[in-house]
Amino acid sequence: MLEKSSHLSLGPTSYKTSAPLELIYSDVWGPSPMLYSDGFWYFVIFVDAYTKYIWFFPLVAKYDVFTIFHQFQTQVEH
């Protein structure tokens, strides 16, 4: 079975970043139609608007996003 994936653009914005980590976009995906290793059903990405660098984190539950964001923030600010 093939599933269609769609790409949603963030669209134009008047906000211009001038440094890395000034603006971070995020997206949460799930639940996955299949269970991944270690029980991951959801995934979150963080995208730096300036560098376009992407961080990807698997999640067991959707409510883990808040915890993962704090870990991500600590990681990139140090």
3-45 pLDDT tens trace: 555 555 556 667 889 999 999 999 999 998 887 778 889 999 9
Say if 52 falls within a structural domain: yes
Q: What is the CA radius of gyration of the chain?
A: 14
Model confidence at 2: pLDDT above 80: no
| Count: domains in the chain | 1
Residue 35 phi, psi dihedral angles, 5° rounding: -80, 130
Residue 75 — left, alpha, or beta (φ > 0 → left; ψ -120 to 50 → alpha)? alpha
Say if 53 falls within a structural domain: yes
Please state the rounded mean pLDDT for residues 57-64: 93
Of 53, 56, 59, the closest CA to residue 40 belongs to: 59
Domain residues for the domain of 71 are 24-77
Say if 73 falls within a structural domain: yes
